[in-house]
């Protein structure tokens, strides 16, 4: 067990290193010069940049050094979780990230909770409802949820519930009311995917002989499903859920922009627009670390759900 976790963490470090290296290379290859963006400020002309000032700034940021030197320095500092200072604001990257992390965690937690509760509920309802048309209505609804892009969902939700009915505020972060619409918009595609995968494996599990044994004991259909089939059907859904957690940062970029919420998503959008290399790299690192840790956590939960699964370090 301990050996397994250590091996997996080792693999995770490799994944992080690879992600950082790729992001470093990509940022060096993409067109656009951070120094001219910074000197230009907002809306400035490219020709208005003073070459001397640009060189000075480039030296200050260490961008005049050879690429391999920059890379080694970057990796060495990243290993100590030091990502330097933001090109655009001059603040320490760690502090910038720290400020944005809170609202995004809030949003992500709310969205994942919604995904889990509504996804499982839709799967169970789509399998157990007494009338076939009701079952297919639930499952079709999940397909729609899955197919609609989340920026559109966000806009529709804003139109209906903030501007139309005025139930929830349209933007901002802090209280619970402000969380509802963005969390729902972020969760909707996940709810659909989770419900579809879970309902399919649930239907397979319900055909297994142990479900008949449970019913022969006198268990109701609902009990046979929730107490027996659901746990057996959970593994594919858990794998999917782990992948969703990793993807939540990507989803937050769109959702936070639509709802004008501060957070990692907005930060990502701004950092990319402003060629703010240190912030982008730190975000890549954070997303990678999140991905590695969540998937490790999911793998560690597997044997608790299904005792036949044995963890084995590859």
Binding site for other proteins (CB under 8 A): 208-210, 212-221, 223, 227-228, 231-232, 305-308, 310, 312
Which residue lies nearer to other proteins by CB, 164 or 307? 307
Measured CA to CA, the distance from residue 15 to residue 101 in angstroms comes to 22
Beta carbons of 24 and 74 less than 8 angstroms apart: yes
Contact of 181 with 154, CB cutoff 8 Å: yes
Minimal distance, residue 236 CB to other proteins, in Å:
14
Which residue, 219 or 289, has its beta carbon nearer to other proteins? 219
Which residue's CB is nearer to other proteins, number 128 or number 179? 128
From CA 73, how far away is CA 68, in angstroms rounded?
8
Structure tokens, 184 = 């729902």
- Shortest distance, position 22 Cβ to other proteins, whole Å: 35
CA distance 28 to 125: 50
CB-CB contact of 305 with 264 (8 Å): no
Give the nearer residue to other proteins in terms of CB position, either 224 or 287. 224
Q: Are 83 and 77 in contact (CB under 8 A)?
A: yes
Cβ at position 206, least distance to other proteins in Å: 9
Residue 80 or 131: the one with the smaller Cβ distance to other proteins is 131
Smallest distance from other proteins to CB 204, Å = 13
Torsional sign, CA 305, 307, 309, 310? positive
Residue 238, token pair as written in the block: 């858990």
Looking at the Cβ atoms of 68 and 217, the one nearer to other proteins is 217
If we measure between CA atoms, which residue out of 223, 233, 228 comes closest to residue 203? 233
Closest CB 314 distance from other proteins, rounded Å? 13
Return the number of the residue (1 or 52) whose C-beta is nearest other proteins: 1
CB of 124 to other proteins, least distance (A): 16
End-to-end CA distance of the chain: 13
Smallest distance, other proteins to C-beta of residue 262, A: 43
Give the span between the Cα atoms of 202 and 195, in whole angstroms. 10
Q: What angle do CA 8, 117, 108 make, to 5 degrees?
A: 55
Instruction: Please say whether the beta carbons of 277 and 34 come within 8 A.
Output: yes
Specify the residue, 2 or 29, whose C-beta has the smaller distance to other proteins. 2
Least separation, in Å, of the C-beta of 243 and other proteins? 22
Q: Are the C-beta atoms of residues 113 and 245 closer than 8 Å to each other?
A: no
């Amino acid at each position: 067990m301990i050996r397994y976790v250590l091996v997996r963490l080792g693999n995770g470090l490799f994944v992080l290193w690879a992600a950082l290296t790729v992001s470093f290379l990509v940022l060096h290859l993409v067109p656009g010069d951070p120094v001219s963006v910074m000197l230009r400020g907002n809306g400035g002309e490219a020709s208005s940049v003073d070459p001397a000032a640009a060189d000075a700034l480039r030296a200050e940021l260490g961008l005049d050094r050879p690429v391999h030197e920059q890379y080694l320095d970057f990796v060495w500092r990243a290993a100590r979780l030091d990502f330097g200072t933001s090109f655009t604001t001059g603040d320490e990257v760690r502090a910038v990230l720290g400020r944005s992390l809170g609202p995004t965690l809030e949003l992500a937690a709310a969205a994942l909770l919604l995904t889990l509760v509504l996804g499982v509920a839709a799967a169970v309802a789509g399998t157990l409802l007494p009338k076939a048309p009701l079952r297919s209505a639930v499952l079709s609804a999940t397909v729609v949820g899955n197919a609609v892009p989340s920026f559109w969902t966000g806009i529709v939700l804003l139109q209906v519930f903030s501007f139309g009915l005025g139930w929830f505020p349209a933007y901002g972060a802090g209280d619970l009311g402000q969380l509802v619409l963005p969390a729902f918009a972020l969760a909707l595609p996940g709810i659909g995917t989770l419900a579809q995968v879970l309902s399919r494996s649930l239907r397979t599990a319900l055909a297994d002989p142990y479900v008949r044994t449970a019913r022969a004991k006198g268990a109701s259909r609902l009990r046979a499903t929730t107490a027996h089939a659901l746990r057996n059907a959970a593994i594919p859904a858990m794998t999917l859920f782990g992948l969703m957690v990793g993807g939540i940062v990507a989803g937050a970029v769109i959702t936070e922009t639509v709802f004008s919420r501060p957070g990692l998503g907005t930060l990502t959008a701004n950092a990319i627009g402003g060629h703010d290399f240190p912030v982008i790299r730190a975000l890549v690192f954070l997303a990678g670390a999140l991905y590695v840790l969540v998937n490790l956590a999911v793998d560690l939960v597997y044997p608790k759900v299904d005792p036949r699964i044995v963890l084995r370090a590859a």
